[in-house]
Structure 1
Amino acid sequence: MKEEKSFFRSRQWKVFLVTMAIALPIFILSTFEDLFLILVISFTLTFILRPLVDTIENLGVVRWLAVMLVFIALGSVAVVGIMMLFPVISSQVGQITAAFSKERLTVMLNDLSVQVSATVPFLKSEAIREQLNSSLVTFGNVAGEALAGLLGTVATLAIVPFITFFMLSDYYKMQKSFIRNMPNKYFEMSLNILYKIEDQLSKYIRGTVIESVIVGIIYTIIYFSLGINYATVLGLIGGFTNVIPFAGPFIGAIPVLLITIVQFGDLRMLIPVAIATVAVQQIDQMFIQPSVFSKIMDINPLAMFLVILIGNETLGVMGMVLAVPIYTVILVTAKETNWGLKRYKITQA
């Protein structure tokens, strides 16, 4: 008599799992956006800091005190860093604000419209001026909304350090509690899935931080060599926006172009900035990413592009940043679950 096929091996079950893997994260993202963001950042900090906390704990320090020592050390480093960088950054930010005063922008737009009209005679300077003014107003409105949203996000994220502290303190307790509540037949598979997810995310997060720092330093050096003002601030922006897949480098180039237009009064730096952006992106893709990530992210480029689009539609820029690690968790879970079901013969009738 032919053995009846288990439902858990059926095509319908696999289709259901894939559908839920796609639909559930989208639903959670769209419904609990702020809560999800807080948890993701807290988990990220936990993955970054956990090895250091483990090292201190292994020296005989109780875990909560080890976490406290790490927080104190990081706070001290942050304070020293802010004290060293704040004068430079605040001075450059102040100069940027002054450079974008209404009077100076009006003069700059008039000069720029005349230059464009002289280069392209069939374009009228008045029409160019009106278009530039309109674009500037639109950019100002968008920048204002983005700043307001950023301030709101910063206020919301004030709770992150507290959640991170408790996650670090009770990390292994939570892990053991989760595994302990799993049925015996799923124990080994669940343990393997947790290990693989933790390993992949830890490498990805640490690699991303290292990559951003290196890219930011390269941008700063290039902007200094090109004679662009506020190179330190612009380099920091370039390193920060680099975490956004695909679009990040180009987003980071926008403030650079605006600064150069104000600084030089024309578009002479358009091509050098574009070349620098493309060059740094190529250096990142060809040398930095392979060295830092060591091929840990085995993701199809088309799939990556699609999940980034979904992330953008769901959470905007933050969704683009989180899309790849979330997809990685789903992919690792699906692969390891499929492997575990076969390896441990869980689905056999």
Structure 2
Amino acid sequence: MTADRPVVPGASLVSQTSQQPEPPVAPPSTWARLWRWPLFQLAVYVLVALAAWRLLGEVHTILVSTLVAYLLANLANPLLTRLERRGVPRPAGIVLLVLAFFGVLAMISPLVSTIVREVQALIAQAPSLLERLNDTLRRLSARSPLLASAQQQFEAWVKVNQQALPGRLSTSLGSLLSPSGALFSGVKGAFGLLGQAFITLVIAIYMMAIYPSIGPFLVRLLPLRFQAHAADVGGHVGRAVGGYFRGQITVALILGVVIATGLTLLGVPSGLAIGFLAALLNIVPYLGVILSVVPALLLAIPLGGLKVALVAALFLAANQLEGHVIAPRVVSHSTNLSSLAVLLAIVFGVETFGLMGAVIAVPLVALLKSLLDAYYYPSRPYRAVAPDAVPGPVVAPPVVVTDAEEAEPVITAR
């Protein structure tokens, strides 16, 4: 007689389940097999990049307008935030800001038309100014043979480009004011610069309304583990880039007013136009003062040597005012860059990407410095001490006793 075995509930079911064969693994799809090849991955990446580049070429006008609108919203956000702290809702603040903008535009519209006429007159005078500059260089080269070669090269360039220069200047100025060309190629003649400015303003108004939520929305698109870090980096980008452009626009406006007022008081023709060009070009530090001094001096030559000296003194004072008074108080707190770093960044940007590189070089360097201060300098790899520099037990050096010291008797006081 055998003892009955205890029956474990579900034991037969478990044994039957364990004995069932595993389902066959599905073979990898054709796409998965192809994706294992590095050359196939490279081809896909190249095709995606080409498609993105083609799409960018089709929508670059809208993209430029959107970027400019975002920059305007970034510039206006501190003022709107201050108004909100004082109890003014953001929509009401935007309405007040837009009304103030159009009010100022209506007040200065006669001045704008005068500036446009003077800019056109200045462009029309470009051939005569070149001839005047060539005559000045010719007189200087007669006194200094070192300038003879440069004067001859400049004279040859003037003969080739003198008549075509006004058209080129008009095209360059139009490209500078409207980098993306017309708003849409099909309505280029109907809209032009005014249409693009209107669309940009409309987009900027919408972005001002939703500006506090733009950053969090972009951060939420990233995986969760990257969101905190991305939000911190976005804060550094906003402070460095936005602070730089706000400060540099302020500097450019102040310098434009100073130069235009000074030249007008001195009686120099096209003083308002030169001040406008100085402000427009001074979005790149020091560039506006440097490039606008040449036409100002050439226009002052017929007025006499004293006026030429006063114009030179005016631009020297404007340069010193920018470098030692305005820029340190308006821009330096956001960039914290030395003058040498700014100059090297501008030179590198011009050599790499032209005028647009000069515009974005300084804020990018300021952003890089901000990220280094926030992440790299406090990091463990940067603060690690070299093994040879780790402090250890202090060991006294051995005392070497010479023969003379050993033979000399020691006298002790009693």
CA RMSD of superposed structures (Å): 4.3
Give the counterpart letter for 1:137 in structure 2. Q
Aligned-pair distance for 1:175?
1.8
- Rounded Cα–Cα distance in structure 2 between residues aligned with 1:196 and 1:45: 18
1:47 maps to 74
- Rounded Cα–Cα distance in structure 2 between residues aligned with 1:110 and 1:305: 31
> Secondary structure of the equivalent of 2:232?
helix
> Equivalent of 2:335, from 284, 294, 297?
297
Query: What are the within-5 Å matches in structure 2 for residues 1-349 of structure 1?
Result: 37-57=64-84, 63-64=90-91, 66-83=93-110, 85-86=111-112, 88-89=114-115, 92-93=118-119, 96=122, 100=125, 105=128, 109=131, 113=135, 120=142, 133-134=159-160, 136-137=162-163, 139-140=165-166, 142-150=168-176, 153=179, 155-156=182-183, 157-158=196-197, 159-261=199-301, 263-264=302-303, 272-299=310-337, 301=339, 303-338=341-376
Give the counterpart letter for 1:174 in structure 2. I
Q: TM-score, normalised by structure 2?
A: 0.59
1:20 maps to none
Distance change >3 Å, CA 340–CA 112, structure 1 → 2: closer
Distance change >3 Å, CA 256–CA 45, structure 1 → 2: same
Q: After superposition, what is the alpha-carbon deviation per residue over 1:61-93, rounded to whole angstroms, capped at 9, x for unaligned?
A: 66445434422331232122214x145435645
8 Å contact from structure 2 (residues 350, 357) kept in 1 = yes
Q: After superposition, what is the alpha-carbon deviation per residue over 1:197-241, rounded to whole angstroms, capped at 9, x for unaligned?
A: 322334322221221122122212332343312322222222222
Structure 1's consecutive aligned runs of 4 or more residues displaced over 6 angstroms after TM superposition are 127-131, 339-342
What is the aligned residue count? 306
8 Å contact from structure 1 (residues 179, 190) kept in 2 = yes
- Rounded Cα–Cα distance in structure 2 between residues aligned with 1:96 and 1:64: 42
Q: Point out where structure 1 has 5 or more consecutive residues left out of the alignment.
A: 1-26, 343-349
Aligned-pair distance for 1:325?
1.5
> Secondary structure of the equivalent of 1:299?
coil
8 Å contact from structure 2 (residues 286, 319) kept in 1 = no
8 Å contact from structure 1 (residues 64, 169) kept in 2 = yes
What percent identity do the matched residue pairs reach? 20
Which of 1 and 2 has greater Rg?
A: 2
Give the counterpart letter for 1:308 in structure 2. I
> Secondary structure of the equivalent of 1:137?
coil
- Rounded Cα–Cα distance in structure 1 between residues aligned with 2:164 and 2:99: 43
> Secondary structure of the equivalent of 2:182?
helix
Give the counterpart letter for 1:210 in structure 2. T
Distance change >3 Å, CA 300–CA 82, structure 1 → 2: same
**Greater relative CO, 1 or 2 (CA 8 Å, sep 6+):** 1
- Rounded Cα–Cα distance in structure 2 between residues aligned with 1:130 and 1:339: 54
Give the counterpart letter for 1:155 in structure 2. A
Give the counterpart letter for 2:217 in structure 1. S
1:10 maps to none
Aligned-pair distance for 1:324?
1.2
- Rounded Cα–Cα distance in structure 1 between residues aligned with 2:321 and 2:343: 20
Higher helix share: 1
Aligned-pair distance for 1:48?
1.5
Give the counterpart letter for 2:115 in structure 1. I
- Rounded Cα–Cα distance in structure 1 between residues aligned with 2:140 and 2:372: 60
Aligned-pair distance for 1:285?
0.7
Give the counterpart letter for 1:81 in structure 2. I
- Rounded Cα–Cα distance in structure 2 between residues aligned with 1:193 and 1:287: 31
Distance change >3 Å, CA 129–CA 52, structure 1 → 2: closer
Distance change >3 Å, CA 51–CA 251, structure 1 → 2: same
